[in-house]
Chains A and B, each alone.
Chain A
Amino acid sequence: MPETPQRELTFAEAVREALAEEMRRDPRVVILGEDVAEAGTPFKVLSGLVEEFGRARVIDTPISEAGFTGVAVGAAMTGMRPVADIMFGDFLTLTMDQIVNQAAKIHYMSGGKLKVPMVLRTTMGAARRSAAQHSQSLHVWLSHVPGLKVVLPSTPYDAKGLLKTAIRDDNPVVFIEDKMMFRMKGPVPSDDYTIPFGVADVKRVGTDVTIVATSSMVQTALGAARMLEDAGISAEVIDPRTISPLDRGTIIASVKKTSRAVVVDEGHLQYGVTAEIASMIADEAFYHLDAPVKRLGAMDVPVPFSPPLEDATVPTEEALVDVVRGLFKKT
């Protein structure tokens, strides 16, 4: 663990620093995607990288996610360590054949002779008034596929450490950042540190209920935990950080301690990440549960454009507090 720094970066700056450090460290690391060079992406996450590393390593592509993702898969197979940038997570649907049928399978189908050390960086999260085609959280689609690793950082610190691990991993990694977190500030060491996959982080220690939260929902959970504390309920907040692989042990140990669990994730509720984690808890901690396992996720509707309607589809601190309190109420 690096020393605790005083320095604070935004989430976007932490991602950029991880990329820059890895590109300096390893000349095989390249970035490709739409508007990644001079524009630095619409969220300005990559600003300045093309100036340092040049157009040969920060490559603007045509508007063709399937095409440049395929280029990234091929580059990775032939020795590069590409980071493909999918501007909106919604466009993952265009890359599915390359990611699901190619990147995830090649190492297996080649009997281990080939590997695909690429990172697919993209976004998730609603509440930006971007409507149904630019607001989805589709990370669970990729979590369903063996051969892919799926990373959901929730803090600037985790973003830097996890992205460096992703770039150094010899497998295809999907790295998904919530658009609403790019300006969130937090301590980030200037050191070269990595965070291992499959290791959950206990973001808050508590005794009465375990809240498993992913990505931006970690902040929602922490806010709810503060409100619950006023109600006399001590909530433990666990951030899996990677949903594939999933750190089952930390979650189960926490639930065995608290006897209650709520899982919150911004993907749609139906067949979601929360369903996977809740079923695992019900299976492995059943005889330690004092209440049903509860799930919160995005409402099962296309994300509305109307701001009041959009806000109503996303889990809030208040909704989470209500669900947790329901686990303690008699009626």
Chain B
Amino acid sequence: MATSVIMPALEMAQETGKLVTWYKREGEAVTKGEILMAIETDKAVIEIEAEASGTLAAVRAQEGDVVTVGHVIAWLLAPGETAPTDVVQTVSGRQTTGAPPQAQAVAAAQKPAGTGERALLSPKARRLAAERGVDVRAVHGSGPGGAVVAADLEATSPSSEQPGQAWRMMADRVTASWTSVPHFFLTRDVDATGMAATRARLALQGPNEAGDSVTYTDQLVALVARVIGKHPRLNASWVDGTIRYHNEINIGIATAVEQGLVVPVIHGADHLSIHDIAKRRREVIARAKAGRLQPADLAQGTFTISNLGMFGVDAFSAIVNAPQAAILAVGRIADRVVAQEGRAVVCPRMTLTLSCDHRVVDGARGAEFLRDLADGIEHPENVSVAVG
């Protein structure tokens, strides 16, 4: 008897399938189990075996055609047979040729083609899987006879969310950086006594007229902006095989907002007073939290600072904010015991981790920058940071 070749339903919610390739030509002999065709669904291209031996005939779907699942797209004929016509002829209510199209559609819907076995699936699990778009073939069944039951679907974390545009951009950017930028990391523990004292002194003066009190991040932006001028490789980018130095020193501040990670930039930070940095920082971060950043707020950054000290993080490694050459990860300031002149001394310490693009910065250059930065943190009097 002639065997129909149907567009198989390979997924729960699949309504149509695209015929990608016929591996056999019309009139060619096919053996049961041979790869007959390739079908594309939303998720994959799957090769389908012939369910019977015979001659491929009456091919109705061409490569590239999108066909409703369950529809007959060809026939496999035994010698002497002809393909049934499109209209199923009936005599006295009986089918004379082929199976009724509806029956074929049902068979197709029930049988995941390409696999001989049909996975046992409770009706409830079937409904839930369809509603949630879960591929049940990957789910381990714990019900009677190994059937997939509703609880098995619960166990496969049906909870998911579509991230917003900002989050997806972050995902793309960190992936691009992590997979294309050769990272290396330098860690240095610094004495934060001077920074803490400076901050306390500025706090005693009170906030400026705009109400901007100075944070450690502001201090670090000011210090980095001044130190980096002597380390141009840290303020550069790898662009198509060349090292491009940046004229401006624009320090980005990695900022977590609900929608994802953003990096608003303090432009020309090397020329700004500590209070102007604080003012500018307050403005851009307020816009970031409100989701109202302007493109200019994010553009032209040349170096980034990521401070997680306020979350109690001691130290961490950041992903370079490409195409920038380096990023500084800042841990919290906390009292620790250190050896000074042969004695155990308690003082506020902070751990800095510099992540570098090795194509632009080598270990020695990164270390020199970090040394000078540490020196500026520990001896702020050596660095000219305007306070007014």
Contact = CB atoms under 8 A, between A and B. Distances in A.
To the question of whether A and B form a pair in one complex, the answer is yes
Interface of A: 259, 286-292, 326-331
A286 B121 CA distance: 12
Contacts of B149: 259, 290-291
Interface residues of B, number: 16
A331 B141 CA distance: 11
Interface in B115-149: 122-127, 141-147, 149
A123 B368 CA distance: 100
Pairs A-B, 10 closest by C-beta atoms: A287-B127, A290-B122, A290-B149, A290-B124, A289-B123, A286-B123, A290-B150, A287-B123, A288-B124, A259-B124
B33 to A, nearest CB: 30
A303 B302 CA distance: 92
What's the dominant secondary structure at chain B's contact region? helix
Contact of B144 (A259, A288, A329): A329
B122 A327 contact: no
5 contacts: A287-B126, A288-B123, A329-B144, A330-B142, A330-B144
Contacts of A331: 144-146
Given A290-B149, A291-B144, 13 more contacts: A259-B150, A286-B123, A287-B123, A288-B123, A289-B122, A289-B124, A290-B123, A290-B125, A290-B150, A292-B144, A326-B144, A330-B144, A331-B146
A157 to B, nearest CB: 35
A327 B124 contact: no
Contacts of B126: 287
Given A259-B124, A286-B123, A291 B143 contact: yes
A286 to B, nearest CB: 5
A258 to B, nearest CB: 10
A232 to B, nearest CB: 13
Contacts of A286: 123
Contacts of A329: 144
Contact of A291 (B122, B127, B146): B122
B143 A290 contact: yes
Chain B CB count within 10 A is highest, among A289, A326, A328, for A289
Contacts of A291: 122, 143-144, 147, 149
Nearest to B151: A290
B159 to A, nearest CB: 20
B139 to A, nearest CB: 13
A66 to B, nearest CB: 46
A287 to B, nearest CB: 4
Contacts of A289: 122-124
A43 to B, nearest CB: 42
Contacts of B147: 291
Contacts of A292: 144
Chain B CB count within 10 A is highest, among A289, A290, A331, for A290
Contacts of B141: 330
B385 to A, nearest CB: 66
Contacts of B146: 330-331
Nearest to B145: A331
A327 B144 CA distance: 6
A213 to B, nearest CB: 21
Contacts of B125: 290
A287 B151 CA distance: 14
A289 B144 CA distance: 12
Nearest to B141: A330
Nearest to B148: A290
A188 B232 CA distance: 95
Chain A CB count within 10 A is highest, among B124, B125, B126, for B124
Interface in B263-300: none
Given A259-B150, A290-B150, A291-B149, A330 B143 contact: yes
A287 B127 CA distance: 6
Nearest to A329: B144
Contacts of B124: 259, 287-290
Nearest to A292: B144
Nearest to A289: B123
Interface in B88-129: 122-127
Contacts of B143: 290-291, 328, 330
A329 B141 CA distance: 11
B119 to A, nearest CB: 14
A287 B126 CA distance: 8
A327 B125 CA distance: 14
A142 B146 CA distance: 40
Contacts of A327: 144
A119 to B, nearest CB: 41
A331 B120 CA distance: 12
B360 to A, nearest CB: 58
Interface in B145-170: 145-147, 149-151
A328 B145 CA distance: 10
Contacts of A328: 143-144
A327 B150 CA distance: 13
Contacts of B142: 330
A70 to B, nearest CB: 47
Chain A CB count within 10 A is highest, among B127, B144, B149, B151, for B144
Contacts of A330: 141-146
A302 B221 CA distance: 94
Contacts of A259: 122, 124, 149-150
Chain A CB count within 10 A is highest, among B123, B142, B145, B147, for B123
A328 B141 CA distance: 11
A331 B146 CA distance: 7
Nearest to A287: B127
A326 B143 CA distance: 9
Interface in B42-75: none
Contacts of B151: 290
Contacts of A288: 123-124, 127
Nearest to B142: A330
A331 B145 CA distance: 5
B87 to A, nearest CB: 34
